[in-house]
């Protein structure tokens, strides 16, 4: 009888253990996402442009655009942006203090294998719009070159551009000959052109 009673009590205890509450625990893992603004301008090629007038034909007709006178650049951005340009000086100058007008250089902007401008994601200053075959003069004052259209956020593949440069041609306001608007003594005349990228 004693054994039977102990066995019965054991069964009751086992049943109670089997129906007891399960043990659980909890841990917290802090998690965050940080998004930094990215705004990158990269000159791919044509970061140094030099026009050399070493023939009467060049002086008479100017130096037309070719791939040697192209500046290719890209923009990578997580925000819409605008691009301005302008020179550091009011004229090209040499060491002797001689000057040549900035408007001897003509400027045009196009897409470079993408459709940011032609697709409307970017706007371009009408005076420099390559899609409309427009040529504008190089200027000192900070001037908008490319702006935001329907949204120009994108990678370097999305935002690739080319600036075409000419010097002394009919597309510029000044020529050496035949107009005689610019009379320059021999020498090397320089100015720096700044491209300024700003987030909107």
Residue 182 binned pLDDT confidence (cut-offs 50, 70, 90): low
Residue 6 lies inside a defined structural domain of this protein:
no
pLDDT at residue 11 is higher than 50:
no
Domain annotation covers residue 14: no
- 79 vs 200: CA distance, rounded Å: 7
Q: Tokens for 107?
A: 């400027």
The tens digit of pLDDT for each residue in 63-108 reads 999 999 999 999 999 999 999 999 999 999 999 888 999 999 999 9
Residue 20 has pLDDT above 80, yes or no: no
| Full strand arrangement of the beta sheet holding 193-199 | 122-124, 143-148, 81-87, 193-199
Token pair listed for 92: 């090209």
Distance CA 166, CA 124 (A): 19
pLDDT for the residue 4: 45
Cα torsion at 62, 107, 120, 146 (round to 10°)? 170
Structure tokens at 86: 């302008």
Instruction: Order the strands of the 160-167 sheet from edge to edge.
Output: 39-45, 70-77, 160-167, 105-111, 136-137
The whole-chain average pLDDT of the chain stands at: 88
Band (pLDDT 50/70/90 cuts) for residue 5 is very low
Closest CA to 114 of 72, 69, 62: 72
Find the mean pLDDT for residues 164-186.
82
- The tally of domains found in the chain comes to 1
Residue where the block lists tokens 């196009």: 110
Has residue 43 been placed in a domain?
yes
Using one digit for the tens of pLDDT, what is the confidence trace for 96-117? 888 999 999 999 999 998 899 9
Residue 7 lies in a domain: no
The reply to whether 58 falls in a domain is: yes
- Nearest to residue 158, comparing CAs of 196, 120, 104, 191? 120
The region of weakest confidence among 7-21, 102-116, 174-188 is 7-21
Domain that includes residue 130, residue range: 39-199
Residue 69 lies in a domain: yes
| CATH number of the CATH domain containing 180 | 2.60.40
Report the distance separating Cα 34 and Cα 25, nearest Å: 30
Q: Predicted confidence band at 153 (pLDDT cuts at 50, 70, 90)?
A: very high
pLDDT at 23: 81
């Amino acid at each position: 009888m004693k054994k039977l009673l102990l066995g019965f009590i054991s069964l009751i205890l086992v049943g109670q253990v089997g129906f007891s509450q399960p043990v659980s625990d909890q841990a917290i893992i802090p998690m965050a996402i940080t998004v930094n603004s990215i705004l990158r301008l990269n000159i791919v090629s044509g970061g140094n442009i030099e026009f050399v007038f070493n023939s009467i034909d060049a002086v008479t007709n100017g130096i037309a655009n070719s791939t040697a006178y192209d500046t290719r650049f890209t923009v990578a951005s997580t925000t819409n942006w605008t691009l301005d340009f302008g020179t550091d000086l009011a004229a090209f100058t040499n060491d002797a203090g001689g000057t040549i007008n900035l408007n001897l250089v003509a400027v045009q902007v196009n897409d470079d294998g993408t459709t940011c401008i032609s697709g409307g994601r970017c706007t371009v200053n009408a005076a420099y719009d390559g899609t409309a075959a427009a040529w504008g003069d190089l200027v000192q004052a900070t001037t908008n070159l490319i702006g935001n259209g329907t949204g120009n956020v994108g990678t370097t593949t999305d935002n690739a551009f080319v600036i075409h440069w000419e010097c002394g041609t009919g597309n510029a306001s000044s020529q050496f000959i035949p107009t005689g608007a610019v009379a320059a003594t021999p020498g090397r005349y320089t100015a720096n052109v700044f491209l300024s990228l700003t987030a909107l």
